[in-house]
Amino acid sequence: MKIALAQLNYHIANFEGNSKKIINSIQKAKEGGADLVIFSELSVTGYYPNDLLEREEFVEKAEKTIHEIAGHCTGIAALVGGPSINNGQRGKQLHNSAWFLKDGKVSALRHKTLLPTYDIFDEYRHFEPNNEFKLIEYKGEKLAVTICEDIWDEQPAANKFAKEKLYSVSPLEELSKLDPDIIINLSASPFSYNQENQRKNILLKNAKKYHLPIAYVNQTGANTELIFDGGSCFINANGEICTEMSYFKEDFQIIDTDNPPVIKQSKTDVIGKIHQALILGIRDYFFKSNLHDAVLGLSGGIDSALVCALAVEALGSEHVRGILMPSVYSSDHSIADAVQLSKNLNIKYDIIKIQPMVYEFEKQLKPLFKGLALGVAEENIQARTRGVLVMAVSNKFGSILLNTTNKSECAVGYGTLYGDMNGGLAVIADLYKTDVYRLSNYINREKEIIPQNSITKAPSAELRPDQKDTDSLPDYDTLDAILFKYIEQNQSPKEITETGFDEKTVTKISRMVNKNEYKRFQAAPILRISSKAFGFGRKIPIVAKFRY
Amino acid sequence: MKIALAQLNYHIANFEGNSKKIINSIQKAKEGGADLVIFSELSVTGYYPNDLLEREEFVEKAEKTIHEIAGHCTGIAALVGGPSINNGQRGKQLHNSAWFLKDGKVSALRHKTLLPTYDIFDEYRHFEPNNEFKLIEYKGEKLAVTICEDIWDEQPAANKFAKEKLYSVSPLEELSKLDPDIIINLSASPFSYNQENQRKNILLKNAKKYHLPIAYVNQTGANTELIFDGGSCFINANGEICTEMSYFKEDFQIIDTDNPPVIKQSKTDVIGKIHQALILGIRDYFFKSNLHDAVLGLSGGIDSALVCALAVEALGSEHVRGILMPSVYSSDHSIADAVQLSKNLNIKYDIIKIQPMVYEFEKQLKPLFKGLALGVAEENIQARTRGVLVMAVSNKFGSILLNTTNKSECAVGYGTLYGDMNGGLAVIADLYKTDVYRLSNYINREKEIIPQNSITKAPSAELRPDQKDTDSLPDYDTLDAILFKYIEQNQSPKEITETGFDEKTVTKISRMVNKNEYKRFQAAPILRISSKAFGFGRKIPIVAKFRY
């Protein structure tokens, strides 16, 4: 059988756009002589529509679109992902389904069995799980159709006391009893750099275990925080890769399932993939919202320099504007470095001194603050004055403010709410500071784009004289190692200390993370590139008393 | 049998505080001669600990606390809510359990069967559902122990195409087959004014249906957004109320389950309950975070006046400070009304003119804005200048900024990000403007606290000359009716129009709601009083294209 794998970039609720892409690929598959074309999970709606699924008019439009697509399936069959109404007497009103289309109409429906409800996933909120297992017979072959998580019944442990098997049923076990010829998987599997090879390994393992070929179709593109990396593939019954599709872009391929030649697995380039992921994340945030221009504050530091370089790659230098907002505490090199960056990237930049506004704020507040020492309030006035300025530019020109917070800062609560925490999109808030350095060096791999001085100088918020990040934090290698264990690995401070870190430092850092939930609650959406990003994949109550 | 119902106010992760309260109530129940004392759902941890449940040290501490509490259960038994480890081979690592404690130790465990995963509930994220039904035998009686949702197998429809039965199993049906003597329910059921009587009706209906008495223990208190209203009760096998406990405060009662006298159902006073709910919400946000002082901007308008009055009731007048920040567009009565309010409430207030800062911002931005018309950018500079000022006071004095946005504004995106959307807690953002008027009149029921002029004058943001809310919005009666249908009832614009509203207006309003998801994403936590509040109970993607 000839199968086309269509790896597309979908846009949530953009039924016209999504169906156009799907119909184009059906046409292409037909022209290429394919018997079947496979799309990914919830391809008609985009992943994840969330509570739009509670709106009847949304679900009706999704079904209508699928029926329109079915009209194009003559002389070819297609598997398209979309919601379907639960016809049972009980349960959630929808299934997360694979629609099998042929002869111009809907021919069969298969529903997702395992509904991920952890981290960023929330599928039990809307869907009723499948509980009957049937194959689809087509052109003499028996297809075992699964959706994403269905082939992930063995989950990596979220922590030490997690079960080896997260689900009480294994769809592949059930389906394999029916003697299928091939496993098909429609996926919406987001990128995370620290689970890079895991997905491929699960596919290879399952192909070997059941001695069945697997046609796996993931999607690409970003929908706000979530970035899908593609990498769709075909694996033969020996667990060998025959096709591995592009990462972070659309792709289309037709394979003959009878003994396709085996290829070598692609090598993983983690930092290169993070780079591609963030650019795709920025691009899709803007273009899918019909926005084109970005603005950001440039401090001369590495974080804003990195975000600026990424934005220029994503949007083009004519669509990025830097605002330099020096204060009396800014060092000369801060301005020089930011100017150099702007020149290297060929972007428009403006310099606005914040002192006049800061002076007026302090003057007007003097009667209230009389007799009180200078402190955080005054530091924040500087950060917030900058926030007002960049937002004014954003409002005036319809450009979106990019937030430049990194994950280390975000974790410990460095950063001023309504100041440097402002932004429509937080580009690197899932990237630890040590990775900010790595990615910056990667960006400079061919020529100096980010000024070397921004990379080598000691990090500072420059909100008071001679301030350095290390005044109140350990060095970033230590900080990031502790944070990774605490956040990504859910280790307790006790366990972290036992792996060789100073107890007092670990306790302090853990407390800072806990204490700053209230700030992160109001943070901009964060492009997710790790297995545990701040945002809706990590839900910690604000009013809680969990002290170490 | 004599049963004590202990309706307490728990604090998430405050194991010491929660267990102290529980142990005190056990002691009191013993002294009152009770055989059994019942606490509510997840009483040891508070509701809802969310991803703290993924931390091993958190779960260990919860279990340890329960075993300590068990030590106090001699001569009495107790049912305490808390997580327990799933000992099965598969599934989520925890159960949401009722721990039956007697003879100084854990005697039995019963797990929650129906795990709500909709609106603000997310229990499938952490818990494995129960699937075996057993009673607990104690002192010759057979107890059917259930947890919250277990008695709610018939759900009110979230929309027209929802199923009548949300779950595939009915715990009460299963347990009733085992011939129990009483149904016990440990609950964490949050208040919502438009579901006020529904809970009681479900209890009455089930008591009658199974001809069994029900002992129902809800909790009280607030944890950030969620406000629990208490109202625990005992209902006899005829479906008559024998005990109805306090609303919005702790309570304790011992009842004799043999023919207790029937009482009259309490009458519902919706606006009075909203009033109590919001005060409890403010109070618990502050006190559970060990905070005491609030600050807020007073515009002379009704929203800030209402929030100020509620804050004074919750925290005391000496703990609330108003900041009046007139601009050149502020009318004289704005200042006069805000001053009058401050005097009526006996709070400290300061007046800071924003013109000097606004002038400097505009001056510094002049080179960038040259030749461009005045507009939203300039309006937002005013709102954000106010935001900087109140946050400076907040930072300097450790007082928390209260946000004064109402639900109507929040829905259509009126309000400036990093300006008047600032705040640690949004007090009335789940209250439509029409209810803001109702509650304000309620607050003035005995004497004028909120100046009558703030109530009667036409609402205006006062960001440009002679601006009125009705310049770009329909009157609030119409707006709120449309919003309620769109948000609470999930009606489509087409359906709303068919109920008698102008099509163009409905389309415009629906679009405004959709377009402003990005703003609400960064909003302060909102005290929830309705069945559909903005925040984590309503998840709509930002980058989506769902146009009407």
Q: Does residue A450 share a domain with residue A330? A: yes
Interface pTM, i.e. ipTM: 0.95
pLDDT over 80 (residue B124): yes
Return the half-sphere exposure (C-beta side, CA atoms, 13 A cut-off) of residue B69. Answer: 34
Q: Does residue A351 share a domain with residue A258? A: no
Domain of A316 in residue numbering reads as: 275-469+516-521
CATH number of A398's domain = 3.40.50.620
pLDDT over 70 (residue B159): no
Q: Does residue A319 share a domain with residue A259? A: no
Q: Which residue has the higher pLDDT, B164 or A69?
A: A69
**The pairing of beta strand A294-297 with beta strand B425-426:** unpaired
pLDDT over 80 (residue B158): no
pLDDT band at B501 (very low <50, low <70, confident <90, very high): very high
pLDDT band at B106 (very low <50, low <70, confident <90, very high): very high
Expressed in angstroms, the distance from the first to the final Cα of chain A is 60
Q: Does residue B129 share a domain with residue B26? A: yes
Q: Does residue A208 share a domain with residue A235? A: yes
Q: How far is CA B252 from CA A303, B235, B236, in A?
A: 55, 16, 19
In angstroms, the separation between the Cα of residue B371 and the nearest Cα of chain A is 12
Query: Chain A residues with CB inside 8 Å of B51's CB?
Result: 538-540
Catalytic residue at B112?
yes
- Residue in A with minimal Cα distance to B384: A388
Task: Give the pLDDT confidence score for residue A156 in this predicted structure.
Answer: 62
Classify residue B306 by burial, with Cβ atoms within 10 Å: 0-12, 13-18, 19+.
Answer: buried
pLDDT tens digits for range A383-400: 999 999 999 999 999 999
Which H or E run includes B36? strand B36-38
Task: Give the pLDDT confidence score for residue B324 in this predicted structure.
Answer: 98
Query: Chain A residues with CB inside 8 Å of B360's CB?
Result: 356-357, 359-360
Between chain A and chain B, the number of residue pairs with CB atoms below 8 A apart is 297
Distance CA B199, CA B152 (A): 9
Domain count, chain B: 2
Do residue A388 and residue B389 have CB atoms under 8 angstroms apart? Answer: no
> Is B399 part of any domain?
yes
Q: How far is CA A540 from CA A95, B50, B359, B422, in A?
A: 29, 6, 41, 21
pLDDT over 90 (residue B520): yes
Which H or E run includes B216? strand B214-217
pLDDT band at A157 (very low <50, low <70, confident <90, very high): low
Distance CA A78, CA A74 (A): 10
pLDDT over 70 (residue A128): yes
Among B470, B480, B477, B443, smallest CA distance to B302 is for: B443
In angstroms, the separation between the Cα of residue B180 and the nearest Cα of chain A is 26
Query: Chain A residues with CB inside 8 Å of B377's CB?
Result: 392-393, 395-396
Q: Which residues pair with B185 in a beta bridge?
A: B146, B216
> Is A541 part of any domain?
no
Which H or E run includes A397? helix A376-397
Query: Chain A residues with CB inside 8 Å of B545's CB?
Result: 11-14, 17, 288
> Is A536 part of any domain?
no
Q: How far is CA A229 from CA A11, A190, A283, A444, B188, in A?
A: 15, 6, 14, 23, 40
Task: Give the pLDDT confidence score for residue A34 in this predicted structure.
Answer: 98
Residue B10 near residue B222, CB atoms below 8 Å:
no
State mean pLDDT over A192-206: 90
Task: Give the pLDDT confidence score for residue A360 in this predicted structure.
Answer: 97
Q: Which residues pair with A320 in a beta bridge?
A: A294
pLDDT over 80 (residue A12): yes
Domain termination residue (choose one: B268, B292, B324)? B268
Q: Does residue A347 share a domain with residue A210? A: no
Q: CB-CB: which of A58, A165, A353 is closest to B89?
A: A165
- Report the residue of A125, A510, A522, A543 to disrupt the B interface, i.e. the one with the largest count of B CBs within 10 Å: A543
Do residue A392 and residue B385 have CB atoms under 8 angstroms apart? Answer: no
Classify residue B32 by burial, with Cβ atoms within 10 Å: 0-12, 13-18, 19+.
Answer: middle
The residue ranges of DSSP E strands in A309-438, in sequence order, are 320-324, 348-351, 400-403, 425-426
In angstroms, the separation between the Cα of residue A69 and the nearest Cα of chain B is 19
The structure tokens listed for B138 are 């104690």
> Is B519 part of any domain?
no
Count H helices and E strands in chain A, helices first: 16, 19
pLDDT over 70 (residue B156): no
Distance CA A121, CA A501 (A): 33
Distance CA A521, CA A541 (A): 9
Q: How many CB atoms lie within 10 A of CB A402?
A: 30
pLDDT tens digits for range A463-517: 888 888 888 889 999 999 999 999 999 999 999 999 999 999 999 999 999 999 9
In angstroms, the separation between the Cα of residue B289 and the nearest Cα of chain A is 6
Q: Which residues contact A459 (CB under 8 A, 6 or more apart)?
A: A301, A302, A433, A468, A469, A470, A476
Q: Does residue A98 share a domain with residue A216? A: yes
Do residue B52 and residue A360 have CB atoms under 8 angstroms apart? Answer: no
Task: Give the pLDDT confidence score for residue A168 in this predicted structure.
Answer: 85
The residue ranges of DSSP E strands in A212-360, in sequence order, are 214-217, 220-223, 226-229, 233-235, 241-244, 251-256, 294-297, 320-324, 348-351
Q: How far is CA A210 from CA A178, A181, A255, in A?
A: 12, 10, 21
pLDDT over 90 (residue B453): yes
Task: Give the pLDDT confidence score for residue A526 in this predicted structure.
Answer: 98
Task: Give the pLDDT confidence score for residue B483 in this predicted structure.
Answer: 98
Query: Chain A residues with CB inside 8 Å of B91's CB?
Result: 163, 165-168
Q: CB-CB: which of A168, A524, A539 is closest to B51?
A: A539
- Residue in B with minimal Cα distance to A359: B357
State mean pLDDT over A244-249: 96
Q: Which residues pair with B154 in a beta bridge?
A: B165
State mean pLDDT over A18-42: 98
Do residue A492 and residue B55 have CB atoms under 8 angstroms apart? Answer: yes
Q: How far is CA B487 from CA A116, B157, B410, B416, B539, in A?
A: 26, 14, 12, 21, 12
Task: Give the pLDDT confidence score for residue B115 in this predicted structure.
Answer: 96
The structure tokens listed for A415 are 């950063």
pLDDT band at A69 (very low <50, low <70, confident <90, very high): very high
Domain termination residue (choose one: B418, B453, B468)? B468
pLDDT tens digits for range A432-471: 999 999 999 999 999 999 999 999 988 888 888 888 888 8
Distance CA A251, CA A160 (A): 38
Task: Tell me chain A's radius of gyration from C-alpha atoms.
Answer: 25
Distance CA A418, CA A456 (A): 28
DSSP A133: -
Catalytic residue at B154?
no
pLDDT over 80 (residue B196): no
Q: Does residue A497 share a domain with residue A369? A: no
pLDDT over 70 (residue A413): yes
Domain termination residue (choose one: B212, B246, B268)? B268
> Is A6 part of any domain?
yes
- Residue in B with minimal Cα distance to A352: B364
The structure tokens listed for B471 are 């310049």
Expressed in angstroms, the distance from the first to the final Cα of chain B is 60
State mean pLDDT over B504-509: 96
Do residue B544 and residue A49 have CB atoms under 8 angstroms apart? Answer: yes
Q: Does residue B282 share a domain with residue B256? A: no
Q: Does residue A256 share a domain with residue A141? A: yes
CATH number of B105's domain = 3.60.110.10
Do residue A368 and residue B393 have CB atoms under 8 angstroms apart? Answer: yes
Q: Does residue A360 share a domain with residue A317? A: yes
> Is B487 part of any domain?
no
The structure tokens listed for A230 are 């593609």
> Is A442 part of any domain?
yes
At CB < 8 A and 24+ separation, what contacts does B104-110 make?
A: B104/B70, B104/B71, B104/B72, B104/B73, B104/B74, B105/B67, B105/B70, B105/B71, B105/B73, B106/B66, B106/B67, B106/B70, B107/B77, B108/B136, B109/B84, B110/B134, B110/B136, B110/B145, B110/B146, B110/B147
Q: Does residue A478 share a domain with residue A449? A: no
Among B21, B30, B41, B462, which one carries the catalytic annotation? B41
Task: Give the pLDDT confidence score for residue A164 in this predicted structure.
Answer: 75
- Report the residue of A545, A547, A548 to disrupt the B interface, i.e. the one with the largest count of B CBs within 10 Å: A545
> Is B456 part of any domain?
yes
Q: CB-CB: which of A12, A518, A523 is closest to B424?
A: A518
